[in-house]
Amino acid sequence: MSTLARTWRRPSIWPRPWLGPVAWLAFAAFLAWNVVSLEMNPERVARGLSRLGTVAAGAFPPDFSRGGLLLSGIVESIEMATLSTLFGVLLGIPVAVLAARNVVPGALYAGGRGVITLGRTFHELIVAILFVKAVGFGPLAGVLTLTLNSVGFFGKLLAEQIETIDRGQIEAIRSTGAGRGAVLLYAVLPQVLPRVIGLTIYQWDIHLRQSTIIGIVGAGGIGATLYNAFSRYDYDFVLAILLVIVGIVLVGEAVSALARRWVQ
Amino acid sequence: MLVVTDLAKTYPTGDRALRGVSFSVEGHDAVFIIGSSGAGKSTLLRCLNRLIEPDRGSVRLDGQEITTLTGPALRQARRRMAMIFQEFNLVERLTVMENVLSGRLGSVSLWQAWRRRFPAEDVEAAYRTLARVGLEGFENKRADALSGGQRQRVGIARALVQRPRMLLVDEPTSSLDPRTSEAVMRLIVELAAEDGIPALVNIHDVPLARLFARRVLGMRAGEIVYDGGPSGLTAEALERIYGAAPAAAEPVP
């Protein structure tokens, strides 16, 4: 029998072996403290659930009698989503170009990234509150909110796509004596166009969802109707609105899936 | 006529890709540059049309100093030194015709380029050039639908449509099989001769260089170590360019 002297252990990710258990303990303590400090009380959860039952009971059957109000809210949401996607993409494309390290000089790049960060910093509800304060209640505030939101979202994703394109094609177009604009048109745009179309559809889909919610702070769309129904305890009308939102989001999803298949 | 004097380039990483290269190309002969990977061949070509900025030295094309040009003047100079690439570098999602016409981008307005409204003589030249490279009838195919050899033919057409004063050709056959390589190389050399322009061709493949070259430049570590006819490429000359042959015991990769 020979002695097997050699053993092997996977190298630890921790610089010292005792650091692992200590880190896990610290993490568990942090979680426990969160539960305590946020008053995660099971009794309150139970009481809340029974109250939720009352709401649910009041919601049945859903009340579609105010169809006109419902329809105008939904149509407004769709219009807001479409218009803000159009504006967002028109603004987002130049911002994306500025925020792509491989096509613009450093100073411009910093500016482009700055705009994107600005567009992504705040949740759309906060932005919506600001625009409602600025331009008053109604869909204009909503369109401005969603436009700003898409400059951040669309700009960031498109900029990342631009940064992954094939440099050889850029080099070839530059070597023909083409200027910056022509390089963008002939070497960059063809490479990212499918992504631009896909992202536009996805952005519309997202805006459709968001436009149903920002009405809650007065920025137009079906959300305003929903909020009013809640505050009047019209739970049956609330359910009707929610069902219509579910329907519209599903339809949006289907349209977007079809369109994306067409782009491939 | 191209005159290169003391051209040098050191990359930010510290790689001294060119260490003072001087040579000139007259008439319309094909000049083949051989040397191992990293010898500075690609850097040399790209410093000529300033896709890469050289650190020092001079490049003169027909008496015009290239290294000091900026803006539109630099772009015009690039148009006169058309480039052909190892990976073809076609814009994959555009049609063959758009790829060929992109050779005219240095001469049309952005608005014309965007609307694909190139001057009639450019379109005519593109059709003619496609016929010259043997791709008649391919104008509406997308570039990514072509085979490697066909793609490189489109790359050649794009270069010729620039109406260049010379061709810069960077490893044109490294992505092709041997038979296609020879056909493509022959096409480049013949078309350049027909148009009466010189071609500066980087190449790995020494037998291919022997086959087509009138003159060979050998590069090693950023310097030209051989300048002469293909018949002068003796074992001793090749050793000067590529270093000592691997010992017999070592497996050849």
> Residue B139, Cβ neighbours under 10 Å: how many?
17
pLDDT tens profile A222-260: 888 888 888 888 888 888 888 888 888 888 888 878 877
Window B:113-132, CB contacts with A under 8 Å: 113-114
Domain identity same for B62 and B25: yes
Q: Is A98 within 8 Å of A104 (Cβ atoms)?
A: yes
ipTM > 0.85, yes or no: yes
Say what the pTM is: 0.81
Strands B64-65 and B81-84: unpaired
Q: A189 vs chain B: nearest CA distance in angstroms?
A: 10
Q: Would you place residue B92 in the very low, low, confident or very high pLDDT band (cuts 50, 70, 90)?
A: very high
Q: What is the CATH number of the domain that holds B24?
A: 3.40.50.300
- B49 and B7 in one domain? yes
Residues B170 and B231 in one domain: yes
Classify residue A17: in a domain, yes or no.
no
The mean predicted confidence, pLDDT, of chain B is 92
Q: Are A88 and A110 in contact (CB under 8 A)?
A: no
Scan for tokens 């083949």, then name that residue.
Answer: B32
| Band of residue B252 on the pLDDT scale cut at 50, 70, 90 | very low
A-interface mutation test, from B43, B80, B105, most A Cβ less than 10 A away? B105
Q: Across all residues in chain A, what is the average pLDDT? A: 88
Question: B7 and B69: one domain?
Answer: yes
Q: Is A42 on the interface with B (CB under 8 A)?
A: no
| B252 falls within a domain | no
Residue B253 is predicted with a pLDDT of: 46
Q: Is residue B24 in some structural domain?
A: yes
Residues B6 and B47 in one domain: yes
Quick one: three-class SS letters along A233-260? CCHHHHHHHHHHHHHHHHHHHHHHHHHH
Assess if residue A19 is contained within a domain: no
Q: What is the pLDDT of residues B43-64, one digit of tens each?
A: 999 999 999 999 999 999 999 9
pLDDT confidence of residue A8: 87
**What residues in B contact A182, CB-CB < 8 Å?**
105, 110, 113
For range A213-229, the mean pLDDT: 86
Shortest Cα distance from B162 to chain A (angstroms)? 7
Q: Determine the pLDDT at residue B81.
A: 95
Residues B15, B137: one domain?
no
With residue A211 as reference, give the H or E element that holds it: helix A189-211
- The pLDDT of residue B244 is 75
Please give, rounded to a whole number of angstroms, the shortest distance from the CA of A180 to a CA of chain B.
Answer: 10
Q: What is the CATH number of the domain that holds A142?
A: 1.10.3720.10
pLDDT at position A33 is 92
Q: Which residues form the domain of A223? A: 67-263
Could you give the percent of chain A with pLDDT greater than 70? 98
- Indicate whether B58 and B172 sit together in one domain: yes
Which distant-in-sequence residues (6+ apart) come within 8 Å of B162 by Cβ? A176, A177, B79, B80, B82, B103, B104, B106
Structure confidence by residue, pLDDT tens digits, B22-35 = 999 988 888 999 99
Q: Classify burial at A36, counting beta carbons within 10 Å of its beta carbon; exposed 0-12, middle 13-18, buried 19 or more.
A: exposed
Specify if A151 maps to a domain. yes
Would B188 be classed as within a structural domain? no
d(CA B253, CA A125): 62
- In percent, the amount of chain B with pLDDT more than 90 equals 85
Same-domain pairing of B150 and B200: no
User: Are B119 and B145 in the same domain?
Assistant: yes
Average pLDDT rounded to a whole number, residues A135-160: 92
Whether residue B57 is found in the same domain as residue B171: yes
If asked whether residues B34 and B47 sit together in one domain, one would say: yes
| Distance between A164 CA and the closest CA of chain B, angstroms | 15
In a domain, B250, yes or no: no
**Is the pLDDT reported for residue B250 higher than 60?**
no
Question: What mean pLDDT do residues B111-134 have?
Answer: 94
Domain count, chain B: 2
B51–A175: do the CB atoms touch at under 8 Å? yes
Q: Which of B142, B163, B184 is the last residue of a domain?
A: B163
The residue range of the domain holding B105 is 89-163
Residue A2 clears pLDDT 80, i.e. is over it: no
Task: Tell if the CB–CB gap between A169 and B83 is shorter than 8 Å.
Answer: no
Of B93, B113, B168, the CB nearest to A182: B113
Number of independent structural domains in chain A: 1
Q: How many CB atoms lie within 10 A of CB B122?
A: 19
pLDDT (tens digit per residue) in A178-209: 999 999 999 999 999 888 988 898 898 899 88
pLDDT on residue A9? 82
B141-199: pLDDT as tens digits: 999 999 999 999 999 999 999 999 999 999 999 889 999 999 999 999 999 999 999 99
- Determine the average pLDDT of the residues in A42-62: 84
Asked if residue B3 and residue B108 are part of one domain, the reply reads no
Q: What is the spatial order of strands in the sheet that B16-25 belongs to?
A: B16-25, B2-10, B56-61, B64-65
Q: Answer yes or no: is A10 within a domain.
A: no
